[in-house]
Amino acid sequence: MFPQLSPTSIAAVLLAESLFGIGYNLLVSWAHSHRIWHVSVSVVIGVAVTGALPGLVWFGAEMPFWQAGLLFLACFASSGIWMVIGSTRRTVAKASHKRQTIPPSARRIRDDVVMDLSALAGEIADRARAGKLVAGDLPHYVHQLHQAIGALNNL
pLDDT at 1 (0 to 100): 42
79 burial level (CB within 10 Å; 0-12, 13-18, 19+): buried
Residue 28 exposed, middle or buried by CB count within 10 Å (0-12, 13-18, 19+): buried
Domain boundaries, the chain: 7-98, 104-153
What is the C-alpha separation between 120 and 133, in angstroms, rounded? 13
Q: Is the dihedral of CA 42, 46, 52, 55 positive or negative?
A: negative
pLDDT tens for the chain, 155 residues: list them: 455 788 898 999 999 999 999 999 999 999 888 888 887 888 899 899 999 999 898 888 888 888 889 999 999 999 999 999 998 998 888 877 776 777 888 888 888 888 888 888 888 888 888 888 777 888 888 888 888 888 887 77
